Amino acid sequence: MDDKTIAGYKDKKVLITGHTGFKGSWLSEILLMAGAEVHGFALEPETKPALFSQLRLARRIASHTIGDVRDAVVLLDAVRRVRPQFIFHLAAQPLVRRSYREPAETFAANVMGTVNLLEACRRLALPCSVVCITTDKCYENDNSGRPFRETDPMGGADPYSASKGACEIAIASYRRSFFSAPDSPVRVASARAGNVIGGGDWAEDRIVPDAMRAFLKGKPLVVRNRRATRPWQHVLEPLSGYLALALALERPECRSAFNFGPSPATIRTVEALAKRLAAHFPNAAVEHHADPSAPAEARLLQLDSTKAAKTLGWKPRWGFVRTVDETAAWYSAVARGESPRVVTDAQIERFFA
């Protein structure tokens, strides 16, 4: 890979919380390809299959620690042991519908898990750059369709969104209270993205994994809200932003919140996404069955990523068609028996080249 951002991680020590998850696994693979020394702290993978297992990351990274970010003592010990130069905090309860079933657990993992990490950094005062990943759902959404800017109010009706809004407030508080000096050894920023898709996502209740499970079994995909629109983006898009942001934290003006959203041109309905995915699989079908009892979700979320463009030089690389086609190609290739690692690495090479 010839991307300058990726080159900045060669021989660097990196800790990823949530490295066993979908985004954490992609990030781990990118950093391994970049020549970084990767350490992970997370719960066991929740799905079978799981991209983490498919890439055999447990035996390829420098250390693989099973732990819960809600356990402050264990997390502090892990940070002390690794002494990372970079931390990417992805560990979270990431599902909206699960947050309705498990609200207290969602707040504990997302808010207090983040506080525990920042407290470990405060207590140890290790020189490191920390990027805490939240979501586009952290904003108070009035469904106006206006793209959210980093200065917009935090909020959220459902427990997941509210937990991420509260998480952003906690991050800002720690940054202002403990890490505000220009020469602070701990440098903190937050990153907001959403509606990420890509190969290797096997989570419950998300449209791409649901589609792949259905299509690969020869069954129709059932969608519950086909007219809902989302600005879809490939998982590599925000990850490239997180990597650029962490390197930029040497500059005090970058120690703040950043949006990493796709181009407005990627906004499509759920139905459009489903049909584009289905086109890659023989005899695949899409059916619509509304669920009146389903918990409420935002109709549309858009991010204004002007700040990331101007400050970091970051911009999206793949449009809607390329994003969906690369995603479908990953699942199709792996279903044919190709190595998940080979397929993943090839897509990373294409993206960063």
CA–CA separation, 206 vs 89, rounded Å?
Answer: 22
Query: Structurally, how many domains does the chain consist of?
Result: 1
- What pLDDT shows up at residue 261? 94
CA–CA separation, 50 vs 162, rounded Å?
Answer: 27
Identity of the amino acid at 324: V
Residues ≥6 apart with Cβ < 8 Å to 235: 22, 23, 26, 196, 197, 198, 201
The answer to whether 14 and 38 are in contact (CB under 8 A) is yes
pLDDT digits (tens, 9 = 90+) for 139-190: 998 878 789 999 999 998 999 999 999 999 999 999 999 999 999 999 999 9
pLDDT digits (tens, 9 = 90+) for 92-135: 998 888 999 999 999 999 999 999 999 999 999 999 999 999 99
pLDDT over 70 at 348, yes or no = yes
Q: Is 222 exposed, middle or buried (0-12, 13-18, 19+ CB in 10 A)?
A: middle
Torsion angle, CA of 173/258/241/266, rounded to 10 degrees? 140
The answer to whether 154 and 168 are in contact (CB under 8 A) is yes
pLDDT averaged over every residue in the chain: 93
222 CA to centre of own chain: 25
pLDDT over 60 at 81, yes or no = yes
pLDDT over 60 at 297, yes or no = no
The answer to whether 111 and 163 are in contact (CB under 8 A) is yes
- What pLDDT shows up at residue 228? 82
CATH of the domain at 293: 3.40.50.720
Residues ≥6 apart with Cβ < 8 Å to 35: 9, 10, 11
pLDDT digits (tens, 9 = 90+) for 270-295: 999 999 999 999 888 998 876 656 55
Q: Of 169, 61, 64, 78, which Cα lies nearest the Cα of 115?
A: 169
> SS3 letters for the chain?
CCCHHHHCCCCCEEEEECCCCHHHHHHHHHHHHCCCEEEEEECCCCCCCCHHHHCCHHHCCCEEEECCCCCHHHHHHHHHHHCCCEEEECCCCCCHHHHHHCHHHHHHHHHHHHHHHHHHHHHHCCCEEEEEECCHHHECCCCCCCCECCCCCECCCCHHHHHHHHHHHHHHHHHHHHCCCCCCCEEEEEEECCCEECCCCCCCCCHHHHHHHHHHCCCCEEECCCCCEEECEECHHHHHHHHHHHHHCCCHHHCCEEECCCCHHHEEEHHHHHHHHHCCCCCCCEEECCCCCCCCCCCCCCECCHHHHHHHCCCCCCCHHHHHHHHHHHHHHHHCCCCHHHHHHHHHHHHHC
- What pLDDT shows up at residue 103? 96
For 213, the domain range is 4-352
